Amino acid sequence: MAKRSIFLTSILLISFILLFCYSSSAKVYDLDTAIDAALKNSTLIKETLEKQRAAVEHYNSSRDNMFPKVSFQYNYTRLKNRPYTIFSTMGVDRKMDIGDKNSIQWNAMIVQPIFTGFALSTQKKIANLGIDISQIQRQEAVLDVIKNVKIAYFNILLSEKYLDVANEEVKQLKSHEKDAENLYKEGMIAYNDLLKSRVALSNAIENRVNAKNNLKFAISAFNILLENNINEKNSVKDIFSFESERFN
């Protein structure tokens, strides 16, 4: 009995924790908050930022290639014995040193590209164009993210409206089916008319299931754009009025 009580307590505790996590993870977004979250978390925008940084580094590298380059070299050699050579004069071998035990070498070199057929200046111009292209790509990515978030946001609202309509239709058809059943019992309508009301109710229930699934898919697509967990039960605030903007 005690083990069963502990088991039930554990189940209730786990259920409470899961319910708390579920309720805390669900959020209600307005359009501006959703756009800000998507722009902050978008992997597409982060990718374009990295490309822009790479383009700047490439431009700096191409610009540095036009400057003179200075290089230094240092070499130190220590021998066990001084190098020498042996030669013979009048039948006598003689030894003569030809170097030192310690040898130090210093080298300095300056290279300035002059005659490159405008290759370096052309590379610099191309790298500068690469920066401009990366900036345009980032702006396009921002606009694409904003557009996709707006589409996903309004898809949720539209799916909610469809679900409301489907719920109302089921409610009305249930009432109609009940009235038809009573009329059939009273002999005021044919059985075929009762079947029609039941078929209409069945179709309405199926439409409501489809509307619920479409709402789930819309929320999942919205979560993907915001880099949220795809299963989070987030929602959006309704927008009662919308004013179109004119673009010249």
Cα-to-chain-centroid distance, residue 196: 51
pLDDT of residue 37: 93
144/43 Cα distance (integer angstroms): 12
pLDDT of residue 228: 92
Contact present, 222 and 234 (Cβ < 8 Å): yes
Contact present, 134 and 52 (Cβ < 8 Å): yes
Torsion angle of C-alpha atoms 200, 201, 203, 206, degrees rounded to 10: 170
Q: What is the pLDDT along the chain (248 residues), one digit of tens a residue?
A: 455 555 445 555 555 444 444 444 678 999 999 999 999 999 889 898 898 899 888 888 887 777 777 888 888 888 777 777 777 777 677 777 777 778 888 888 877 777 665 777 788 888 888 888 989 999 999 999 999 999 999 999 999 999 999 999 999 999 999 999 999 998 899 999 999 999 999 999 999 999 999 999 999 999 999 999 988 989 899 876 555 566 55
pLDDT of residue 244: 56
15/171 Cα distance (integer angstroms): 32
Helix (H, G, I), strand (E, B) or coil at 96: strand
Contact present, 48 and 130 (Cβ < 8 Å): no
pLDDT of residue 21: 47
